[in-house]
Amino acid sequence: MKVYLNKIKHKLWESYLYNPPLNYSKIRLFASSEHSFNRINNNNKKKIIEFEQILLMTGNSFDYEFMLNKRKWLIERLTKSDIKFLISPTEIAKTNALYYLENNKIISDKIKVVRPSVNLARFRERKKKKSNLGNKINLLFIGQRFYGKGGPICFEIANRLNHMKMNFHFKFVSRDVPKSYRIPKNVEIIDYEISENLKYDLYDWSHFFIFPVVQDSFGVYLECLETCTPIISTNIYDKADIIENNKTGIMIETPFQLYEYKNFGLKWKNWNQFNNYFVDHFNNGIFEDMISKYVKILENFINNPQCYHDMTNNIANDSIERFHPNIRNNSLVSIYKNMYHL
C-alpha cells in the first residue's frame, strides 16, 4: 500500500509521527493514494481525508458565511470517486458533517469514525508525576484567541475564588491577553511561546485545566488525557465524545458556541463578528450562571479531594481503553486495506 501522508502541525496529526500505522511513502509522486487533513488536494490520487469540522474543507476557517455557502460545492466534490474515505474523530463530528451535507448517502457511507489517540510514551511518564490535591489548588489554561477561548471567563472565575479566599494558583498561558486587561490576584500570565517539555511540566503541576471555550479546540483535550489532568470545559461541538462528563472531566453547558447550526455563518458570518458577539454578551452578564458553576465545582473538589483522585484514575483507565494508539492504528489499517481492496 503506497500511501502518502500530508504532514501538518496539529495534535490530531501527532500520532502519525510517534506511532504510524504503516510506513508511508516519502515521495508523493510515487504514491497512488494520499491521506490529508481538512483539505481536498487537486490531483487524481485516491484520497482519504481526515477532518475536524467538515466545512473546513472549503479552504477557509474564518469566513463562516463563505464556508456555509460552499456546501453545495462540497457535497458535489465529496461524492467524486477519487475520495474514498472521510475520517471523523467523533460520532458527533460525523453527525455535524452530515447535517451540512444534507445526509447524502454516498458521503455518509464514506465517513468512518476513528478516535484520536494519546501519546503512550507521554502518558506513562506523566501518570507517575500527577500530584494529589491538597489545601492549594493549581489551575491551568493554555490557549490563544483570548475571547474565543474564554479568557475573560477564566479571569472572572479567579476573581470569585479570590473573593472566597480560596488558596489557588492559576497559570494562564497565552500571548493574546490584551495589555489593558486587569489581571486578577493569584493569576500568573505566561505570555511567551512555551516548549513541549515545559507545556507538559505545566500539566504535571496542575490539578485542573480550566477551559470555558466558546469556539472550537482539540489538542488540550488529548493532552489532559495524556497527563491525567481533569478538564473543566464548556460542552462545545464534539467534545462530549472525548471527555465523559463527571468521569474524566466536567462538561458545562454554554449559552452559545461557535458551531451552532442556527447561528454559524448566519448570526456570526466571520470570526470578527463572533469575537464581538462574545465581548458584548460577556459584558452583559450572559455567562454569570456558567461562572458560578465553575466556582462551585472547584469548591466541591477542594472539599472532597477523593473525587479528584477518582477522576485522575478514571482518566488513566479511559485513555487506555478508548484512546490507545493500537485501536486507532487497527482502524486506519483496515481503511487503507479497504481502499486497496486487500
**Structural domain spans, the chain:** 3-117+324-339, 120-322
Q: What angle do CA 284, 286, 288 make, to 5 degrees?
A: 110
Cβ pair 115, 328 in contact under 8 A: yes
Higher local confidence (pLDDT), 290 or 12 = 290
Residues belonging to the chain: 342
Alpha carbon distance 336, 339 (integer Å): 5
Residue 10 has pLDDT above 90, yes or no: no
Query: In this structure, how many other beta carbons lie within 10 angstroms of the beta carbon of residue 67?
Result: 24
Q: Is 219 exposed, middle or buried (0-12, 13-18, 19+ CB in 10 A)?
A: middle
Residue in the block written with cell 500539566: 203
Distances 157 to 28, 79, 134, 277, 320 between C-alpha atoms, Å:
49, 47, 20, 20, 32
Of 67-81, 119-133, 160-174, the one with minimum mean pLDDT is 119-133
- pLDDT digit string, tens, across residues 102-115: 999 999 999 999 99
Residue with the bigger pLDDT between 15 and 259: it is: 259
pLDDT given for residue 126 in this prediction: 61
Name the pLDDT band for 129 (thresholds 50, 70, 90).
Answer: low
CA 111/CA 225 separation, integer angstroms: 25
Question: For position 342, what pLDDT does the model report?
Answer: 67
Where does the pLDDT of residue 17 fall: very low under 50, low under 70, confident under 90, or very high at 90 and above? Answer: confident
Q: What superfamily does domain 120-322 belong to in CATH?
A: Glycogen Phosphorylase B; (3.40.50.2000)
State what percent of residues in the chain have pLDDT above 90. Answer: 88
Q: What is the mean pLDDT of residues 87-111?
A: 98
Query: Could you report the per-residue pLDDT of 21-38, keeping only the tens digit for each?
Result: 999 999 998 999 999 999
Mean of pLDDT values over 69-90: 97
For the chain, helix, strand, coil in percent to 5 are: 45, 15, 40
| Contact in structure between 170 and 154 (CB atoms under 8 Å) | yes
Q: Is the pLDDT of residue 316 over 80?
A: yes
| pLDDT tens profile 135-182 | 899 999 999 999 999 999 999 999 999 999 999 999 999 999 999 899
Q: Mean of the per-residue pLDDT values for the chain? A: 94
Q: Is the pTM of this model over 0.75?
A: yes
Question: How high is the pLDDT of residue 18?
Answer: 87
Long-range contacts of 150-154 (CB under 8 A, 24+ apart): 150/211, 150/212, 150/213, 150/214, 150/234, 151/176, 151/177, 152/181, 152/282, 153/212, 153/282, 153/287, 153/290, 153/291, 153/294, 154/187, 154/210, 154/212
15 vs 122: CA distance, rounded Å: 12
Which pLDDT score is estimated for 162?
A: 98
Residue showing cell 484512546: 323
Give the per-residue pLDDT at 127: 60
Angstrom distance (rounded) from CA 64 to CA 240: 23
pLDDT on residue 322: 96
Per-residue pLDDT, 149 = 97
Reported confidence tier of residue 131, pLDDT bands at 50, 70, 90: confident
> What's the whole-number mean pLDDT along residues 84-98?
98
Residue-level pLDDT at 128: 62
Mean pLDDT over 313-333 rounds to 95
Question: pLDDT value at position 11?
Answer: 83
- Whether 339 shows a pLDDT value over 90: the answer reads yes
* CA 57 to each of CA 40, 49, 68: distance values in angstroms, whole numbers, following the listed order: 7, 9, 11
Given a cut of 90, is residue 13 above it in pLDDT? no
